[in-house]
């Protein structure tokens, strides 16, 4: 009996985009020839390769964006600081949302298989890291100039490719005046003293969409309240689909600000039209830290306060259901130096217990890929 009569291979995709493999042996009578055995052996290796690729690089049939987490933490661990690569699902032209850890994150993501769909023709004989640094990452969106959001970009700048750096005026001015100034660091920018012109500094206008060069993205920046220089939320759009990324921010009530509410007002229509694929929002500390020691950050309590404000903005008549199943990726959890204390575990437990809006909560993890 021929091999084609012996085996039927069906590869199916589940709702989360993971490939499932089913091999059904229909019948087997007689002996296989050597050539048939070799064909079956080759087919088994092919099936295994497809399965491994599917597990390492999960896709969803309707994914619009892919996000590779190069850094998820909010401090202390310098190898795991805020940096998220985003691109359209079918491309490998990335934009970095903040740039705290780059090289360490690329290596961890590569080991996890999160870049498995980068083709050899794109690499052109170069390493994945070289490809990403020279051509794959097209721009940096920098929420603010604090080092946990910029140090990877700064340290890697001598070996980086030409890129655009986009931020609000305070952020760009701080990078020009206090980082790329020829004293703290070589001036790799296109402004200031003795510029090398590797980085093109672009000042975004709050609330005004702008294209990101050499990508299919448009981005809109929003001012946030954080320290005395502020921070930024970036709303990215391609094909009328959106992702919202927050840098550091405090809650409006404590900050005596309307910054978060202004963002909610802007994205409420997008949520009503089911065009917001996800929100990346920080929680830096577990509940229990005094409000006057939050340093313009969120806790689970204040996170949910802001989520309820968003729900009320989206649907004042039925806020309890207006955000049901909206994907929220929690970022920037600060580690602890205390033995036996895991702030991530505490934050996750506290947040899930307060999730009365049925949010689809996820927690950013370095090296992992998120399909939106």
- Do 323 and 337 touch, CB atoms closer than 8 A? no
Residue with the larger pLDDT of the pair 88 and 54:
88
Q: Bridge-partner residues for 181, per DSSP?
A: none
**Residues 102-124: tens digit of each pLDDT:** 999 999 999 999 999 999 999 99
pLDDT above 70 for 339: yes
Q: What is the mean pLDDT of the chain?
A: 88
| Class of domain 57-371 as given by CATH | alpha beta
Read out DSSP for 234-276? Answer: EEEEETTEEEEEE-S---HHHHT--HHHHHHHHHHHHHHTT-E
pLDDT single digits (tens) 294-310: 999 999 999 999 999 99
- Please state the domain extents for the chain: 3-55, 57-371
As a residue count, the chain comes to: 372
The SS3 of residue 136 is helix
Q: How far apart are CA 32 and CA 80, in angstroms?
A: 53
If 0-12 CB within 10 Å is exposed, 13-18 middle and 19+ buried, where does residue 233 land? buried
pLDDT-above-70 percentage for the chain: 84
Determine the Cα–Cα distance for residues 61 and 17; give it in Å rounded to an integer: 7
What confidence category does residue 325 fall into, taking pLDDT thresholds of 50, 70 and 90? Answer: confident
Nearest to 361 by CA among 347, 109, 369: 347
End-to-end CA separation in angstroms for the chain: 46
Taking the C-alpha atoms of residue 97 and residue 105, their distance in angstroms, rounded to an integer, is 13
């Amino acid at each position: 009996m021929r091999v084609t009569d012996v085996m039927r291979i069906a590869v199916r995709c589940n709702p989360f985009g993971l490939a499932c493999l089913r091999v059904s042996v229909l019948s087997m009578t007689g002996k296989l020839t050597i050539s048939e055995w070799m064909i079956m052996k080759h087919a088994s290796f092919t099936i295994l390769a497809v399965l491994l690729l599917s597990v390492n690089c999960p896709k969803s049939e309707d994914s619009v964006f892919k996000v590779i987490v190069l850094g998820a933490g909010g401090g202390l661990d310098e190898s795991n600081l805020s940096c998220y690569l985003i691109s359209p699902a079918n491309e490998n032209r990335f934009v970095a949302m903040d740039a705290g850890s780059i090289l360490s994150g690329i290596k961890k993501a590569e080991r996890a298989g999160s870049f498995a769909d980068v083709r050899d023709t794109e690499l052109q004989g170069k390493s994945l890291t070289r490809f990403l640094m020279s051509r794959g990452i097209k721009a940096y969106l920098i929420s603010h100039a604090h080092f946990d959001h910029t140090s990877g970009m700064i340290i890697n700048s001598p070996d980086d490719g030409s890129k655009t750096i986009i931020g609000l005026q305070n952020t760009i001015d701080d990078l020009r005046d206090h980082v790329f100034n020829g004293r703290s660091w070589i001036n790799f920018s296109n402004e200031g003293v003795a510029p090398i012109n590797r980085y093109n500094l672009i000042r975004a206008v709050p609330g005004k969409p702008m294209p990101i060069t050499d990508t299919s993205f448009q981005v809109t920046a929003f001012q946030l309240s954080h320290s005395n220089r502020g921070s930024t939320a970036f709303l990215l759009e391609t094909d009328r689909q959106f992702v919202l990324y927050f840098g550091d921010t405090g809650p409006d009530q404590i900050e005596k600000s309307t910054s978060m509410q202004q963002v909610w007002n802007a994205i409420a229509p997008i949520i009503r039209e089911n065009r917001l694929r996800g929100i990346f929002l920080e929680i830096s500390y577990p509940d229990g830290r005094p409000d006057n020691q939050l340093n313009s950050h969120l806790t689970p309590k204040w996170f949910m306060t802001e989520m309820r404000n968003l729900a009320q903005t989206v649907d004042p008549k039925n806020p309890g259901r207006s955000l049901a199943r909206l994907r929220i990726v929690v970022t920037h959890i600060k580690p602890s130096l205390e033995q036996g204390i895991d702030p991530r575990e505490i934050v996750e437990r506290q947040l899930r217990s307060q999730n009365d809006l049925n949010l689809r909560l996820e927690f950013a993890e370095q090296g992992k890929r998120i399909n939106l």
